[in-house]
Amino acid sequence: MTRATAGSVGLVETQQVVLFDGDDPLVFESGATLGPVEVAYETYGQLNADRSNAVYICHALTGDAHAAGFHEGSERPGWWDNLIGPGKPLDTDRYFVICSNLLGGCQGTTGPSSIDPATGEQYGLRFPLFTMSDLVKVHRALVRHLGIEKVLAIVGGSLGGMQGLQWALDAPGEVASVLAVCASSRLTAQNIAFSAVAREAIMRDPDFHDGDYGRKGVAPTGGLAVARMMAHITYLSEESMRTKFGRRFQDSAEPRFGFDVDFQVESYLHYQGESFLKRFDANSYLYLTRVMDYFDLFEDMEQAAARLEQLDTRFLVLSFDSDWRFDTSHSREIVRVLAAHHVPVTFREIRSPHGHDSFLLEVPEYHRTVAGFMDRLADEVEHKGWA
């Protein structure tokens, strides 16, 4: 039987909905169209009478719709279970929490591994390239489907935080607040370089077949595992790696002097790479890393300024002092632009030894900050309404 812990939302199921179809397709920012578009999502808690307590979770690069609770038969909770649930910072006794799998994903939402109804085969690299605004367009369609006109908060870490930022600028008046955790308004050359190497590992795998590996009945597992291994290094801090692994050997007190796995850190990375293969699609990895590369929220500052002046959205921007993938300078740049345009923004850099992955972990100061921001916001809405 599935284990449920104190503060858990308990057993949950992933739901599916078709939000766009051939008669009413999703129109991408590029002009490309797609239909049908099916979206996988989960909800936790109850929507209140005036529909003012909705919180939307935007997941990061390799996340999915299963953010909290347990699926039947599983001992592992959703990926943000420490943040979402009764009495937790995103308190499901108070908030109606929604999390969906991203467009282009591989966990129930239409993406490159989905079947193209026109051909009966997987889309592969024929799937349209998309932007952050395209991701947001699908989220907004789900919100409308659920009968919600305005969201109390958009909450996301890393790529999830970027979606929240884009959402606020794309739909002024639809978002009361955004909580962007270790996010960025645009990637640095170093960040783009990391993703470029990961994509090369996938595309140079002999089983990639120009993205049509699904038709061949194979998968570029070697390349995808290497991509995950390299990315995972950037999610951890030097301190956390030193504490977890140091220079300890895996199976003995002495080195074996060879090229097989010898150090504990090597074994850990191999495990991360192999376990990733069970849940992720290589083409989705290509598309979702690329959408991050092209994201540049304030590139057209004149247009961005006009949108910022329309905002009645509040922002909480958080970073972690040991995160070197999206270090604090990324968050400070977001705060600088928002503050320069008189947008209400609160910023905190939080001490954590865990690097970029800190946003997924139970860091006490981080959780207290999120809970305090959400409580103040919800109290105000309950007493004064949206105005």
- The set of catalytic residues is 158, 323, 356
Are 68 and 57 in contact by the 8 Å Cβ rule? The answer is no
Residues 179, 156: Cα–Cα separation, whole Å: 6
Q: Residue 327's closest CA among 291, 356, 292? A: 356
Q: Cα separation of 344 and 339, whole Å? A: 7
DSSP letter for 128, please.
P
Dist CA 261 CA 248 (whole Å): 12
β partners of residue 34: 26
d(CA 171, CA 163): 12
Residue closest to 181 by CA, chosen among 315, 341, 43: 315
In angstroms, the CA 344 to CA 346 distance is 7
Q: Are strands 37-44 and 96-100 parallel, antiparallel or unpaired?
A: antiparallel
Residue 118, token pair as written in the block: 């026109």
Dihedrals phi, psi of 303, to nearest 5 degrees: -65, -40
Residue indicated by tokens 């060879």: 258
Place of tokens 């395209």: 134
- At 253 the three-state DSSP class reads coil
Coil, strand or helix: which one is 386?
Answer: coil
Residues 345 and 168 sit within 8 Å (Cβ to Cβ) = no
Segments of the chain assigned E as strands: 15-20, 26-27, 33-34, 37-44, 54-58, 96-100, 115-116, 121-122, 153-157, 177-181, 314-320, 345-350
C-alpha 177/C-alpha 183 separation (Å) is 15
HSE, side-chain direction, 13 A CA sphere, residue 206: 0
Question: Is there a contact between 29 and 131 (Cβ–Cβ < 8 Å)?
Answer: yes
